[in-house]
């Protein structure tokens, strides 16, 4: 998974650069009509690939891929213990349920930190490669801003990992944790967007969900305080977003601990 995020981050930079360059060349030769915004819009896309924009564009790449990959990893990390029957074996040898869950959560958190670090570094590498290929001068990255964006990204991933952990513990299945975690991830974001596009007043409800609060922190790292979507409704305040995401993480882990303590493991896992 660590290799995948590194290759994907660099590959997406190269893919976008080559695609836009090919499109620009086709427009200039008259092979295809100019898209909305013309060459200016395509040039703006290329500017987003520069090193000084990694805290925005690059971190969002890692965020999109990382959310999916870490949901899968979190559910597998604990769900497989039930399928293999190793959880019951650990308890029989004196391991505590709280210690078991704590070790799993801590190792997951450490893995996610490494994952985010490598993903952000790979995004920086991709931006430098694209800049070198283009031969254009570009200012260097803002290391402080990138570090802040990486920290925010890591924080937004925690509730999704905690949710996948909760589902895996509740269902005693890695597969169920992965499937339900991914379905909830996509469905919650889609429903939130649809509700707000139907009625702006629904923003007061969906702004307490995961997706819009995670988006508020990620976009805040790039200096974007508003969101351009069909509803024209801004994202939640970043302070509120941090509190809500933290509360979700604590609640999901508390429920997972409660369920783990009350689960009968005398039969199966």
Sequence spans of domains, the chain: 50-262
pLDDT digits (tens, 9 = 90+) for 161-182: 999 999 999 988 889 999 999 9
Q: Is 153 left (phi over 0), alpha (psi -120 to 50) or beta?
A: alpha
Encode 146-174: b = buried (16+ Cβ within 10 Å), e = exposed.
beebbebbbbbbbbbbbbbbbbbbbbbbb
Low-confidence ranges of the chain (pLDDT < 70): 36-39, 93-94, 137-138, 221-233, 263-269
161 touches 251 (CB < 8 A): no
Record the pTM.
Answer: 0.86
pLDDT digits (tens, 9 = 90+) for 218-231: 887 665 544 444 44
Say how far apart CA 31 and CA 55 lie, in whole Å.
35
32: which DSSP letter?
S
């Amino acid at each position: 998974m660590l290799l995948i995020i590194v290759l994907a981050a660099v590959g997406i930079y190269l893919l976008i650069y080559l695609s836009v360059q090919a499109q620009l060349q086709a427009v200039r030769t008259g092979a295809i009509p100019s898209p909305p915004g013309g060459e200016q819009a395509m040039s703006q896309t290329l500017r987003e690939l520069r090193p000084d924009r990694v805290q925005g564009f690059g971190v969002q790449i890692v965020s999109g891929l990382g959310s999916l990959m870490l949901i899968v990893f979190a559910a597998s990390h604990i769900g497989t213990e039930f399928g293999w029957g190793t959880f019951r074996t650990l308890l029989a040898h004196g391991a505590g349920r709280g210690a078991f869950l704590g070790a799993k959560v801590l190792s997951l958190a450490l893995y996610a930190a490494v994952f985010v670090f490598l993903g952000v570094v790979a995004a920086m590498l991709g931006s430098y490669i694209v800049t070198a290929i283009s031969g254009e001068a570009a200012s260097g990255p803002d290391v402080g801003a990138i570090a802040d964006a990486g920290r925010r990204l890591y924080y937004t991933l925690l509730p999704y990992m905690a949710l996948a952990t909760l589902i895996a513990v509740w269902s005693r299945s890695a597969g169920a944790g992965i499937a339900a975690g991914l379905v909830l991830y996509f469905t919650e974001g889609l429903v939130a967007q649809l509700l707000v596009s139907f009625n702006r007043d629904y923003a007061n409800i969906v702004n307490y969900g995961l997706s819009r609060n995670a988006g508020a922190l990620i976009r805040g790292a790039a200096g974007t305080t508003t969101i351009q979507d069909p509803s024209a409704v801004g994202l939640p305040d970043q302070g509120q977003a941090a509190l809500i995401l933290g509360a979700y993480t604590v609640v999901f882990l508390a429920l997972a601990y409660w369920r783990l303590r009350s689960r009968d493991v005398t039969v199966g896992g």
